[in-house]
Structure 1
């Protein structure tokens, strides 16, 4: 069996390693256009901020490790075309310019995603950078050394983490986003209000509800970011608007969403036989809605890549879908979320309600008993759990993994109320705060008719 793999980050590495182990006689060839593989891009802010001193820990594989498994890895090679019907591909050696063709029995597409970069006036000025791969992170660190006024465009996870890292390094930081709230895709206002307040207290300037219109510069370098509401001095700009899937190679050959994300089934199969896909290039089933959605997360990628190997010869293990579970630490606050926010649920046309509680995470007689904020979103008629968000100074983020399982299994609020959680005063209360959320949303009991005698 001849297997060709295009791209080698999270999903690609998982697919390659597992394919090599499961099918030792397979001939596996990997095409990677970068000079490194398997970079953990979600660690960029930690590296930029200096918390991670040695970037080697941000790589979880290497060409040599793949070679030890019998894999042929072609670094700095770009696949320029694919014929899924004829099972051939054309590739180019980026060092020599040589072009050649190859054949495959099975094709694994793990081409990932790339930052969205609108064609703003001045976008080509120096010191306007992206934040996606290892080379980007090194450039950011290098340029930030001589920059004082740094503007980050985009208030998603990467943007928020970067402004914190820059602030901790003593920089003057501005965060711009067209949305009116930070992290608006992941959290409702009860949480983002507190996060924004914390960021302002740490000296970060927020320019929310503002759209970038252009960049101005001097001597070829950016000096100012112009929005529809104001202007901001900038020695360095990091673009973190979002990502789009890298799927041009298969355009018109497999089914895709409107944004180009490849649609795969529960076995990671595309609409074309013997062509599989995983990771940020794909759309997968989002359990809260039951629809295919584009959710580029490393956790989704490694699961999908692993499943490709399991299902390469025949459907064997199904993917259970995703809740888009994620977490972030912003200064002293530990935050996590899964599934739909209340806002997103209503935007999706669901009749959603929510329970919001603030409670001490363990008994008040303990020396410390920090508060925890928990919100659980559920469908009104079915009472099915749709999403949850948590925030505390104490790290209680693992509770969101529990909520993810609840959503995945279609649990209802009354079931959450009576799930068996342990009690120990060091850790929680007799009613775990997850139970408490379920209790607050118990259905009404029938009213008695007449009067008891």
Structure 2
């Protein structure tokens, strides 16, 4: 069996390693444009902020490790074109400019995503940077050394993490987003407000509800960010607007969503039976809504890559879908979320209710007992849990993994009230705070007043 893999970050590395182990006789060739593989882009802010001193730790595999598995690893090779009917590839060696053809029996597409770059006046000025790969991270570190004022455009996870890192490095920082609050895709306002307050306390300027319209510069370098509400002087701009699937090669060859995300079934197959896709280049089943959506996350990618290998010869293990579960640490705040926020649920047209509790996570007689705020969103009619968020100075983020399982298994808020959790004063209360949220959401019991004769 001749297997070709295009792209080698999270999904690609996972697919390759597992394919090599499951099918030792397979002839596997991987084509990667970069000179490195498996870079954990979620660690860029930690690297930029100096928390991670050795960037080698941000790579969990290497071309050498793949070659040890017998994989023909062709780094700095670009796929020029694909014919999924004839099962052929045209390849360019980016070092020598040589082109050649290849064939495959099975094709695995793991081309990932690429940052969204708006077509704005001045976008090509120097010191306007992206944040995605290892090369980007090194450029950000080098340019930031000489910058006094850094502007981050986009208040998602990567944007807010970079803002924190730059501020802790002594930079003046501005965060711009067209939404009126940060992290609006992941958190409801009562949670995002807490992080915004921390940013303001640290002297970070929040330019929210503003859309960038252009950039201005001097001597080829950016000096101003122009928004629809004013202008911001700056030395360096980092674009963190979001990502789109890197799938232009396959347009018209496999089915896609409107945004270019490749559509796969539960066995990671495209509409072409011998063509598979995984990771940020394709859509995923989003369990809270039951829809195919685009949710680029490393966790989704490694699971899907593993499943590609397991299903490459025959259907064995279906994908269970995702809740889009994620976590974040900003200053003293430990934050995590899963599924839909209350706002997102209403945007989806769902009839929902939410319960929010603030409690001490363990008994007050303990030496410390930080408070925790938990919000659980559930459907009004079915009472099915569809989302949750947590924030605390204590690291209680693993509780969101528990609620992810609840969403995965279509559990109700009423069941959450009585799930069996252990009690030990070092860790929690007799009623775990997850139970407490469920208890608070229980409907009242209507009782009839006895009639005395």
The answer, yes or no, to whether TM exceeds 0.5 is yes
Partner of 1:429: 429
| SS at structure 2 position matched to 1:429 | coil
Mapped to 2, the partners of 1:318 and 1:450 lie a distance apart of 55
* 1:266-281 pair list within 5 angstroms: 266-281=266-281
* 1:341-420 pair list within 5 angstroms: 341-420=341-420
Mapped to 2, the partners of 1:16 and 1:256 lie a distance apart of 23
Partner of 2:316: 316
| SS at structure 1 position matched to 2:400 | helix
Deviation, 1:451, is 2.6
The answer for unaligned runs of 5 or more in structure 1 is none
Mapped to 1, the partners of 2:386 and 2:174 lie a distance apart of 34
Deviations 1:238-286 (A, max 9, x none): 0000000001111111111100001111111111111000000010100
* 1:55-70 pair list within 5 angstroms: 55-70=55-70
| SS at structure 2 position matched to 1:186 | coil
| SS at structure 2 position matched to 1:141 | helix
Deviations 1:153-188 (A, max 9, x none): 000000000000000000000000000110000000
Deviation, 1:443, is 2.5
Deviation, 1:35, is 1.0
User: Which contiguous aligned blocks of 4+ residues in structure 1 show a shift greater than 4 angstroms?
Assistant: none
- Cα distance change of structure 1 residues 82 and 440 upon mapping to structure 2, 3 Å threshold: same
Deviations 1:351-388 (A, max 9, x none): 01100000001111111111100000000000000000
* 1:20-169 pair list within 5 angstroms: 20-169=20-169
Mapped to 2, the partners of 1:168 and 1:452 lie a distance apart of 72
Deviations 1:123-169 (A, max 9, x none): 00000000000000000000000000000000000000000000000
Deviation, 1:76, is 0.5
Mapped to 2, the partners of 1:21 and 1:427 lie a distance apart of 40
- Cα distance change of structure 1 residues 435 and 216 upon mapping to structure 2, 3 Å threshold: same
Deviation, 1:429, is 0.6
| SS at structure 2 position matched to 1:401 | helix
Mapped to 1, the partners of 2:33 and 2:395 lie a distance apart of 39
Partner of 2:232: 232
Mapped to 1, the partners of 2:35 and 2:451 lie a distance apart of 80
Mapped to 1, the partners of 2:9 and 2:449 lie a distance apart of 65
| SS at structure 1 position matched to 2:283 | strand
Deviation, 1:445, is 2.1
Partner of 1:11: 11
Mapped to 2, the partners of 1:242 and 1:306 lie a distance apart of 25
| SS at structure 1 position matched to 2:244 | strand
Deviations 1:315-358 (A, max 9, x none): 10111100000000000000000000000000001001100000
Deviation, 1:298, is 0.2
Mapped to 2, the partners of 1:412 and 1:73 lie a distance apart of 48
- Cα distance change of structure 1 residues 89 and 430 upon mapping to structure 2, 3 Å threshold: same
Mapped to 2, the partners of 1:447 and 1:129 lie a distance apart of 64
Mapped to 2, the partners of 1:293 and 1:99 lie a distance apart of 36
Moved more, 129-138 or 93-102: 93-102
| SS at structure 2 position matched to 1:262 | coil
| SS at structure 2 position matched to 1:338 | strand
Mapped to 2, the partners of 1:249 and 1:318 lie a distance apart of 26
Mapped to 2, the partners of 1:432 and 1:281 lie a distance apart of 39
| SS at structure 1 position matched to 2:96 | coil
Deviation, 1:446, is 3.5
Deviations 1:406-440 (A, max 9, x none): 00000001100000000111111110000000001
Mapped to 2, the partners of 1:340 and 1:49 lie a distance apart of 30
Mapped to 2, the partners of 1:66 and 1:304 lie a distance apart of 19
Question: Does the alignment pair 1:208 with 2:177?
Answer: no
Partner of 2:248: 248
- Cα distance change of structure 1 residues 452 and 99 upon mapping to structure 2, 3 Å threshold: farther
* 1:188-199 pair list within 5 angstroms: 188-199=188-199
Mapped to 2, the partners of 1:34 and 1:103 lie a distance apart of 22
Deviation, 1:444, is 3.0
| SS at structure 2 position matched to 1:91 | strand
* Superposition CA RMSD, Å: 0.8
| SS at structure 2 position matched to 1:31 | strand
The answer for unaligned runs of 5 or more in structure 2 is none
| SS at structure 1 position matched to 2:183 | coil
Q: Normalization by structure 2: what TM-score?
A: 0.99
| SS at structure 2 position matched to 1:419 | coil
Deviations 1:15-47 (A, max 9, x none): 000000000100000000011111000000000
Deviation, 1:442, is 1.1
Mapped to 2, the partners of 1:452 and 1:184 lie a distance apart of 56
Moved more, 51-60 or 442-451: 442-451
- Cα distance change of structure 1 residues 429 and 452 upon mapping to structure 2, 3 Å threshold: farther
Moved more, 321-330 or 358-367: 358-367
| SS at structure 1 position matched to 2:74 | strand
Partner of 1:171: 171
Mapped to 2, the partners of 1:295 and 1:183 lie a distance apart of 15
Number of paired residues? Answer: 453
